[in-house]
Amino acid sequence: MTQAKSHTPTVLVLGAGMSGILAGIKLKEAGISTFEILEMGDSVGGTWRDNTYPGLSCDVPAHSYDYTFEPNWRWKSTYAEGPEIYAYFKHCSDKYGVTPHVRFGTRVTSVTREGELWTVLSADGVKRQAQIVINCLGVLVHPMEPDIEGLQSFAGPRFHSASWDHSVSMDGKRVGVIGTGSTATQIICALADRTARLEMYQRTAQWVCPNFDTRRPEWLRQLHRAVPKISWAAGRIQNWILESTFCQAVIGNQRMKNILLKLCLRHLAKVKDPVLREKLTPRFELGCRRLIFSDTFYDAIQKPNVSLVTEGIQRIEPQGIRTKDGQLHELDVIVTATGFHALDYTRNLVIRNEQGQSLGEVWAQGAQALRSVAVAGFPNFFMLIGPHSPIGNFSLTGISEIQMKYIMSFIDRIKSGEVKTLNPKPEAQTRYNAHLRDGFAKTQWVTGCSSWYLDKNGLPRMYPFTPNDYRREMKDPDIAEFDVTATA
Ligand code: NAP
């Protein structure tokens, strides 16, 4: 038997956010330096670079959100703030030597399979080729502006939460925030003490759970920095708490759901005015949409200068927002915290296979992948946080690490010369997606609400089992699930 000849594959990683940096770190760890990371922005960090709105923080505890191999950051609180997380990912990119591989200002426009290679074109006209592509473009990237009449007619500053205009002072201003999601909630808490008048425009009331955030004294931050094992252990404990409560509740554990419901109702009871409390009471089951975690929202919304507007927006006018009851709310600034074109993996990007089919066409009836990381018909094309990743019930960083380990097991086989290409078998992909469908019915996500968690068929776009199930299923990558071509 002849020994397969080892060969370092060329790899293109799309995006230098949390998952792209991770991909770079793991490729380097495997001795692969023949990779480039194509990044549209001028710095690494993805969503944590782009989102800079006041109050931005992560609702997953800090030690569950950092990489397990780089745990000892001096987080200021139980939940990290946006600028801290951005600094953390920049630090990891530099420390692990990923930054020199990043090509900044490179917006990828197409990814096309040509023969045995992927050809990647960017907006600057540069063409690159590689044997492997890893798509790390993220899931909440493209801001969604609301479809409201007169949006452009407002005379004052108006911007989306993901493109915050820091040249506009909020101090002493009359500010309208459209939306009631995690983002709007954080903005309201941050601006309540700074604005003359702050109005939150609510279409749908949301469940808000206390997050028991605590600031850390300096000595504790230093201890975490000095002793990585303490931070690592804190991360495992936080994961365990998260996975035994919230993660269980959203996938159908009624006992956990009822405990969280009690907690949320007790939190809501902090709202003294029964009329306001009624308006803030959600009409859908807890966990159907992403739960909002905030200790301070109900205090903020009850401040004398803050109001909840529930009459519905009729249109936006040069002076402010006119609600359906005919009232004009005069404003100096409008913020649209109206979310994202979530999980829109092929937005502004054409990914085409050798047969000329685009991924957008293949996914016209809903995105499907094999174990979220590979797609039948698209050989040597991998994704981090792809379709049906456990993003509704687990930390994105943890998911990326599990998925990258799985992907690296195949890249190692390519590197060792054992195989040349891997293409998921359609029947393996179909079987995997049927398995996911078995879990959907039990989840809270299908209990009757509109949400970006659901696809156009009303099916969850998330993994419907426990994080432990996911770890188990991803633990032993099975090459039999792929059609492979061997190296000549
Ligand atoms: P979102 O959850 O999608 O909320 C968008 C809000 O805008 C909703 O309240 C929606 O109302 C409202 N809206 C949209 N169009 C509207 C219109 N035409 N008129 C009136 N209201 C309109 O967006 P998000 O708050 O930016 O959060 C998106 C995701 O980002 C979250 O689910 C979460 O995963 C993530 N996030 C995470 C953190 C964190 O701490 N880790 C922080 C912020 C965001 P309806 O509810 O009626 O549709």
pLDDT at residue 3, rounded to an integer: 52
pLDDT at residue 1, rounded to an integer: 41
Ligand 1 and 331: CB distance under 6 A: no
Ligand 1 and 282: CB distance under 6 A: no
Q: How far apart are CA 479 and CA 409, in angstroms?
A: 10
- Give mean pLDDT, residues 169-180: 98
Ligand 1, atom 46, lies closest to the CA of 204
Ligand 1 and 385: CB distance under 6 A: no
Q: At 2, is the pLDDT very low, low, confident or very high (cuts 50, 70, 90)?
A: very low
For 44-57, the pLDDT digits (tens) are 999 999 999 999 99
For 75-93, the pLDDT digits (tens) are 999 999 999 999 999 999 9
Site to probe by mutation for ligand 1, drawn from 84, 182, 295 as the one with most ligand atoms within 8 Å of Cβ, is 182
* pTM of full prediction above 0.85: yes
For 433-451, the pLDDT digits (tens) are 999 999 999 999 999 999 9
For 242-253, the pLDDT digits (tens) are 899 999 999 999
- Give mean pLDDT, residues 13-32: 98
Q: How far apart are CA 262 and CA 276, in angstroms?
A: 19
pLDDT at residue 99, rounded to an integer: 98
CA atoms within 13 Å, Cβ hemisphere of 181 = 17
Ligand 1 and 211: CB distance under 6 A: no
Ligand 1, atom 36, lies closest to the CA of 182
pLDDT at residue 487, rounded to an integer: 75
Ligand 1 and 26: CB distance under 6 A: no
For 389-413, the pLDDT digits (tens) are 999 878 999 999 999 999 999 999 9
Residue type, 306: V
Ligand 1 and 147: CB distance under 6 A: yes
Q: 89 near 44, Cβ under 8 Å?
A: yes
Report the candidate in 371, 380, 375, 415 with the shortest Cα–Cα distance to residue 28.
415
Specify whether the backbone of 238 is left (phi greater than 0), alpha (psi in -120 to 50) or beta: alpha
Quick one: 287 exposed, middle or buried, by C-beta within 10 A (0-12, 13-18, 19+)? Answer: buried
Residue 467 has pLDDT above 60, yes or no: yes
